[in-house]
Chain A
Amino acid sequence: MSEIENKTENDSTESAGECTAGDTKDDKGLGLGVIFFIVAFVACFLSGTLLFPKLLYSKKEQPFNFDHALHVGETGDCETCHSFREDGSFTGIPKLATCLDCHAEEPLGETEDEVVFVEEYVLEEKEIPWYVYSRQPDCVFFSHAAHTEENGMDCVTCHGHIGDSTSLRPYEENRITGYSRDIWGKNIFGIKKNSWDRMKMDDCAKCHKKETGHQGYCFQCHK
């Protein structure tokens, strides 16, 4: 015990001695510490803000590109493809059969994506393994009918202007949770500017509170 104490004492005197050697450079030492602080702060903050999301999310390309704007132009609305079934359940991403309602006869369009679509999926009779940006985890029950049919909400409120997009952005999956990045939102700070920027429980609860006067009971949205 005492040996260690002695040793530390010696150490400290040594370093103190060094310090006193440059008496006037006291401030400079502090200044260097500040510089180091700032450098480290900025570096870590930037990497936490810019690099961290790149590490946290894996990027996956969709099977092929899909032009929402073009399709909305042709069909005039979202519901033609993203429809309800007769039992009020929502089809979500359409099945191949829905695509074939229009694409049955021959390729419509001459893009490379159309070729992939026809050759790899239509001819093979394989469902297209789309990544779903807005997929909620298994514990969530969400009724589209309650929102759009019963309460007249539009798709944009939650899904944004995806209907105007001409290309599909890469799907980003959280490596820890397996969730789509859209649930937390693009902004890594969780800052939300538009109603569709984030899809966490608090966002649902906030809107429910505003619209219905109550944030809702657990079972309303959980299963």
Chain B
Amino acid sequence: MKVDRRSFLGLGIGAAAGIAVSPVGMKLTDDSAIWTQNWPWTPVPVDGEVTYESSVCSLCPGSCGISVRKIDDRPVKIEGLAQHPVNDGGVCLHGIAGLQYLYDPARVKTPLKKNGDKFEEISWDDAIELVAGKLADLRKNGSPEKLACIADKEQGSVSGLFQRLLKTVGSPNFYTMPSLESYLEVTAAALHGEGMTIGFDLENSDFVLSFGAGIIEGWGSPVSCFKANASRKERHAKLYQIESRLSNTAANADKWIPIKPGTEADLALGICAVLLKYNLFDSMVASEFRGGLNKFAIMLQKEYTPSKTAEITGVKASDIEKIATLFAKAKMPVAVFGKGRGDGAQSLKELAAVHTLNCLVGNINKKGGAFVRQKSEYLEFPDVSMDSIADAGFAKNKTGRYVNQLIEKVNKSSKPAVDVLFVYNANPCYSLHDPKSVKQAVGKIPFVVSFSSFLDETAKEADIILPSHTFLERLEDVPSCAGLAKSVVGLTEPVIDPVFDTRHAGDAVLLIAKALEGSVAESFEWETYDECLESVAGGIWDSLSEDGYAIVSEGAPFGSASVNISFLADNPATVQARGDDKLTLIPIDNMRLISAGTAASPFAVKTVSDKVLKGQDIVVEINPLTGKGLKDRGFATLTTPTGTARVMVNFNEGMMPGVIGMVEGLGHTFDNKYVSNKGINVNDLIGPVIESGSGLDAAFGIKAKISKA
């Protein structure tokens, strides 16, 4: 018996047949087909019980109610909260994308301390000790006023704690970033007196005259404005938009009135002049004006005749008269100020001139008009205890009036004007004009403490970072500070345990205060921030904790507000754009981006049009007439007195000739590739222009030239 070739053949065929008849082939075919569609690296989200938790979004001052859908402990979706007094169900794209901030690659995961150019991890205890040590040194040297703090806003308990810390340490140097709310207060202070703020009853007004306010570009409380705008048709209300660019608001408005950039104040005064000339104002109300109504009227009839105004603004004289008549004849007119989102540079002349329209037609504190009310002081902090060092320091003058002046002072002085700087919820090294000089100032300050959740432009300049929880991880009162008709305080509640080793900024302040001991520590009697909030929110805590919000005031305030027009009667000069070139560069607010310190989320950046951002190139808008010699979608060099940039050109018939528009909110340098290193920061090209008198940075734009690159 011999094993031959046939045997092998038999063996082979037998094996093949055996396998063929066995289920191996069939099964492997099926399994490999399944395998190709179920890659192990494709995530499989775990299922579980669906629950909803209510909270408040604090990404912008809008303070919308949100409902967070969770699967077991995992938040998976943010939606608008129905029946919330601010937004009643709707929500903007940034709020919806809020969960992306939780896991943002640029988050600061643990306290960091700068060593040379690099950050090193440090424990919370060491970090607090270090910061408290610096403050103790300041106090020991008798210069506690050299502690400064820049926060996003004045309102709310966390800001309150920072202010309290500064006060008890002995510093008056508390600053806020410019915001719509700060402008509302400045305007109210100029016309009505200190301690007041303004709200606009957009949802009831039948004629909204908007001086560039981006009602649907994120102005004020965005969702609330969207809703008021959407209901216009049903309410037979009109919206007239005065703006140099066909923004979405202008496009959605009943009428768009193009205007030369930076001349809104003049147009408002021109309209005032028409109102006064043709007796279209409420004489009963106007007779109560203080500060010289006659002087004001005479000045207007001289300087702001329709023809003169037309020349300044580029709006036809007949149109000016028509707008004035429509505004005066409307039942519930309201004039709205705050170009773009209302948080950029503004001039007091413009703010006051526009608001004077409201005063003249007598719509103050009337339904559909402008509400002038006391700033809501819903928090009741106990009295502070201050020692002699604190008393002496706190009594000194502030280093500057606004944050811009602070930066300027720091840059100008040879000795450190500020020794320790706290930055909370603000990103001045990105969102102020000419960030390079801001960075230079921050660099000059010996010890900078950032409380940022992200390693943003300002946090990168800090010496120590005490990372805060994001809004989804913390408890906090969120006052709506956005020109809403009603004053609402919402409660942000943690919907997830902190993802990283972060702390509530309120808790960080408490720890610093306690480490300082003495009278400082005495003023911070609470163990935790949560306990502090419950006690200081006393009057509204029940409502906050039960409903998630408290309505502080609603409807038209009782009585009228006194008006003082002395500021305008002197006809302050209109702020001019810096530079000598022919064109004017203006920033554009785009709803899909965020112009303030926080970068937009990856989802939001994804929705940005390729006519705004293409690859890493920012796209500027320009009228084809102005862009002669340039190519649509071609590259160009844009030069201003502050900087030069390579940009892509987009011909847009919606731009007024002579104007170049560049979007705000790009050019971040976070460590998050999905949102950073895209385009440039428009603030790099615009330098501040301080309005004399008010001290506000009023650079609405800057002169520029553009040429083919």
User: Chain A interface (Cβ within 8 Å of chain B)?
Assistant: 15, 19, 22, 25, 28-30, 32-49, 52, 56, 85, 87, 89, 91-92, 137-139, 174, 176-179, 184, 188-190
Q: Judging by beta carbons under 8 Å apart, are B18 and A190 in contact?
A: no
Measured CB to CB, the nearest residue on chain A to B14 is: A40
Q: Judging by beta carbons under 8 Å apart, are B7 and A33 in contact?
A: yes
Measured CB to CB, the nearest residue on chain B to A188 is: B23
Distance, CA A78 to CA B75, complexed state (A): 30
List the A side residues contacting B19 at CB < 8 Å: 44-45, 48
Mask, B1-23, CB within 8 Å of A = 1, is 11111111111111111110111
Q: Judging by beta carbons under 8 Å apart, are B27 and A52 in contact?
A: yes
Known: A29-B4, A45-B22, A48-B18. A184 touches B27 (CB 8 A): yes
Q: Judging by beta carbons under 8 Å apart, are B40 and A36 in contact?
A: no
Known: A33-B10, A35-B10. A52 touches B34 (CB 8 A): no
List the A side residues contacting B26 at CB < 8 Å: 190
Measured CB to CB, the nearest residue on chain B to A43 is: B18
Distance, CA A105 to CA B377, complexed state (A): 51
Distance, CA A34 to CA B27, complexed state (A): 28
Known: A176-B32, A184-B27. A41 touches B8 (CB 8 A): no
Q: Which 5 A-B pairs have the closest CB atoms?
A: A48-B22, A44-B18, A40-B14, A33-B10, A37-B14
Of the candidates B12, B24, B35, the one whose C-beta lies within 8 Å of that of A40 is B12
Nearest CB on B from A21, distance (A)? 10
List the B side residues contacting A19 at CB < 8 Å: 4
Residue among A34, A45, A47, A49 with the highest chain B CB neighbour number at 10 A = A45
Distance, CA A39 to CA B3, complexed state (A): 14
Q: Judging by beta carbons under 8 Å apart, are B14 and A39 in contact?
A: yes
Q: Judging by beta carbons under 8 Å apart, are A137 and B8 in contact?
A: no
* Contacts A/B (CB < 8 Å), 8 sampled: A22-B2, A40-B10, A41-B15, A48-B24, A49-B23, A138-B44, A139-B37, A178-B40
Flag whether B38 is at the interface (Cβ < 8 A).
yes
Q: Judging by beta carbons under 8 Å apart, are A177 and B23 in contact?
A: no
Of the candidates A28, A49, A189, the one whose C-beta lies within 8 Å of that of B1 is A28
Q: Interface of chain B, helix or strand or loop or mixed?
A: helix
Q: Interface of chain A, helix or strand or loop or mixed?
A: helix
Nearest CB on A from B23, distance (A)? 5
List the A side residues contacting B531 at CB < 8 Å: none
List the B side residues contacting A190 at CB < 8 Å: 23, 26-27
Measured CB to CB, the nearest residue on chain A to B37 is: A139
If A22-B2, A48-B23, A184-B27 are given as contacts, then 9 extra A-B residue pairs at C-beta distance below 8 Å, sorted by A number, are A29-B7, A33-B7, A33-B10, A37-B17, A40-B10, A40-B18, A41-B15, A46-B18, A48-B22
Of the candidates A41, A184, A188, the one whose C-beta lies within 8 Å of that of B17 is A41
Measured CB to CB, the nearest residue on chain A to B28 is: A176
Nearest CB on B from A174, distance (A)? 6
List the A side residues contacting B14 at CB < 8 Å: 36-42, 44
Q: Judging by beta carbons under 8 Å apart, are B31 and A36 in contact?
A: no
List the B side residues contacting A138 at CB < 8 Å: 38, 44-45
Flag whether B49 is at the interface (Cβ < 8 A).
yes
Nearest CB on A from B207, distance (A)? 46
List the A side residues contacting B573 at CB < 8 Å: none
Q: Judging by beta carbons under 8 Å apart, are B12 and A178 in contact?
A: no
Flag whether B395 is at the interface (Cβ < 8 A).
no
Q: Judging by beta carbons under 8 Å apart, are B24 and A52 in contact?
A: yes
Distance, CA A22 to CA B6, complexed state (A): 15
Q: Judging by beta carbons under 8 Å apart, are A45 and B7 in contact?
A: no
Those of B271-303 within 8 Å (CB) of chain A: none
Measured CB to CB, the nearest residue on chain B to A35 is: B10
Q: Judging by beta carbons under 8 Å apart, are B22 and A49 in contact?
A: yes
List the A side residues contacting B3 at CB < 8 Å: 32
Flag whether B50 is at the interface (Cβ < 8 A).
yes
